[in-house]
Amino acid sequence: MTSESLSPAATQTFSPEPRVASPKERHLGSGQFIRLGSLFALLLVFIYFSCMAPGFSALSNLANIVEQSATLALLAFGMTAVIIGGGGDVIRGGIDLSVGANLGLCIAIYAVSEAAGYSDVTAFLLTLAAGLAVGALNALAVVGLGVLPLLATLAVMNICAGLELVLTQNMVISSASPLLAWITAADWLGLSVTSWSFIIIAAVMLLLVHRTPWGLRLQAVGGHREAARAAGLRVPAYRAASYLGAGLLAALAAILQAARLSGSSPGSGDILLSVVLTSLMSVVFSRRLLPSIGGTILSVLFIGCLINGFQLLNVSSYWVNGVQGLLILGIVALRSLSDRPGVA
C-alpha cells in the first residue's frame, strides 16, 4: 500500500495494490492444489449429474447448456478482461459493474431500432455502437479522469439502466427480424448460432488474452501497474481497451439475447451478480490463482450445469442462488486460507 499523508494535496487515496505472487504460491504449488481440486470438483459434479439426473448427458442437453450459458459467458469474458487489466483487487483495481445494464440497454436499442423500421444491418450496427459507447464512457471515467472503477461503472450502470427504461418504458418490445429468426432457427452440427457464438468468441478471447503479446501486456498492466509503466507500456491504452472490449461483448450478447427473448424484456440487467461470480470464480481454475479466460469458461459451464442439473433432478430453483453464494464463499475461503496475507 503506498504511503498515505493527510494533507490536502495527497496523492490519490485509492491506488491499486500490486498483486505479486507470494513466495508460498510460487513455490509450494498450493495454487496447483486448489486448481486440481476445483477441476476435480467440477468433474465430480458432472459425473453425479450424468448418473442421477435423467437426460443430463444427452448431447442435445449439453448443447442446451452451452446455449443457455452464452450470454453469461460473453459478459463474463468482458468482465474478466477488465479485472485482468485492472489488477485483482476489486475495489481499487478493475471491475465493470455496468455490463448487465449495458446488455439491457443494447437489447433495448436493437428492439427499438427494429420497431422504428430500420434495417437489420442498421439496427445491428447501432447496437454495437451503443455497447462501445458505454465502454468508452467507462474508459473515459476510469482511465481519463481517474475515477475509481467501482464508482465510475456504478454511475454508468445507473445511466444505462435508466436509459433502457426510458426507451422501453419498462415494457416488453417485441422484435421479429430476419436476423433474429436466423439466430434462433439456424443449426450447424446440432449447435445453434448462439452456441457457436459462445464457442468462437471463447476461442478468440482465449487466444487474445493468453497467447498474444497484446494479452500478455494486458496481464502485465494488471499485475503490477507501476512496473508496467516503467517498462514502457502505455498503461492507459490497455485499460481503456479492456473497457471497450467489455462494452462490445455486451453488445454482441445483446443480439443473442434479443433473439432468445424475441425482443427486449425488462430485467436483463439482473445478470450482473452472476457475471461477477463467474469472473471471480475463474481464479480457482487457473494456475496462478488469477482471473483467466479459461477459468471463466469453466466457471460459466459449471454454473450452467448446476442450473440445468438441478432442474433435471427436480430440485427447487430457489436453491440456486444459495448454492452460488456458497460457491463464492467456499472458493475465496479456500484461496485465502492457502495464501495469507495479501488477499485481493
What angle, rounded to 10 degrees, do the helices at 272-281 and 293-312 form? 120
Pick 148 or 199: Cβ nearer other proteins: 148
Pick 8 or 117: Cβ nearer other proteins: 8
Contact 219, 84 (CB under 8 A): yes
What angle, rounded to 10 degrees, do the helices at 59-86 and 193-211 form? 30
What is the smallest separation between the CB atom of 306 and other proteins, expressed in angstroms? 12
Examine residue 184 and tell whether it contacts other proteins (CB under 8 A): yes
Site residues for other proteins, window 87-126 (CB under 8 A)? 89-91
Burial group, residue 45, by CB count within 10 angstroms (0-12, 13-18, 19+): middle
Examine residue 216 and tell whether it contacts other proteins (CB under 8 A): no
Provide the 3-class DSSP secondary structure of residue 25.
helix
Paired sense of beta strands 173-174 and 263-264, if any: antiparallel
Residue 218 sits at φ, ψ, to 5 deg, of -60, -45
DSSP class per residue in 169-202: TTS-EE---HHHHHHHH-EETTEEHHHHHHHHHH
Pick 42 or 90: Cβ nearer other proteins: 90
Pick 29 or 325: Cβ nearer other proteins: 325
Pick 5 or 23: Cβ nearer other proteins: 5
Interatomic CA distance for residues 166 and 74, integer angstroms: 25
Pick 170 or 188: Cβ nearer other proteins: 170
Q: What does the block give as the cell for 269?
A: 440487467
- Nearest of 83, 76, 81 to residue 103 by alpha carbon: 76
Examine residue 1 and tell whether it contacts other proteins (CB under 8 A): yes
Point out which span in 7-15, 120-128, 216-224, 289-297 binds other proteins (CB under 8 A): 7-15
Site residues for other proteins, window 61-80 (CB under 8 A)? 61, 64, 67-68, 71
Q: How remote is the C-alpha of 64 from its chain's centroid? A: 20
Site residues for other proteins, window 260-279 (CB under 8 A)? 260-263, 265, 267-268, 270-271, 273, 276-277
What angle, rounded to 10 degrees, do the helices at 213-223 and 59-86 form? 60
- Nearest of 33, 61, 76, 45 to residue 302 by alpha carbon: 45
Pick 38 or 265: Cβ nearer other proteins: 265
Pick 129 or 163: Cβ nearer other proteins: 163
Examine residue 328 and tell whether it contacts other proteins (CB under 8 A): yes
Site residues for other proteins, window 288-327 (CB under 8 A)? 307-308, 311-312, 314, 316-327
What is the smallest separation between the CB atom of 157 and other proteins, expressed in angstroms? 7
Site string for other proteins, 222-261 (x = CB under 8 A): -----------------------------------x--xx
Provide the 3-class DSSP secondary structure of residue 173.
strand
Binds other proteins (CB under 8 A): choice among 29, 37, 146, 190? 146
**Total residues contacting other proteins (rule CB under 8 A)?**
89
Provide the 3-class DSSP secondary structure of residue 331.
helix
Examine residue 165 and tell whether it contacts other proteins (CB under 8 A): yes
Examine residue 163 and tell whether it contacts other proteins (CB under 8 A): yes
